[in-house]
């Protein structure tokens, strides 16, 4: 059996030996990397949702509604 098959695809998810007793723990660098990845995906999803809402508003109310909305918030 190939040992490489058991390793995680992401190096941050690999378990590391914590001491000579053989106790393992999760790599401390894995949590911030996963949190950053989650935030990037959440931000991308929010951007797509905002674009869809803008396109729907454009289709229902027309472009003048959006321009008036932007002008009202900017002034």
pLDDT digits (tens, 9 = 90+) for 11-45: 655 555 554 555 566 666 666 878 889 999 999 99
Handedness of CA 64, 66, 70, 75 (dihedral sign): positive
Q: Both tokens of residue 39?
A: 């935030």
Give yes or no for residue 9 having a pLDDT over 80.
no
Identify the band that residue 65 occupies on the pLDDT scale cut at 50, 70 and 90.
Answer: confident
The domain in which residue 54 lies consists of 3-74
Domain count, the chain: 1
Handedness of CA 33, 38, 42, 48 (dihedral sign): positive
């Amino acid at each position: 059996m190939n040992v490489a098959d058991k390793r995680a695809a992401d190096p941050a998810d690999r378990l590391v030996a914590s001491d000579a007793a053989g106790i393992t723990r999760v790599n401390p660098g894995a949590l911030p990397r996963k949190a950053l990845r989650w935030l990037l995906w959440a931000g991308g999803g929010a951007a797509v949702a905002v674009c869809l809402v803008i396109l729907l508003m454009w289709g229902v109310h027309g472009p003048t509604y959006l321009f008036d909305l932007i002008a009202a918030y900017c002034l």
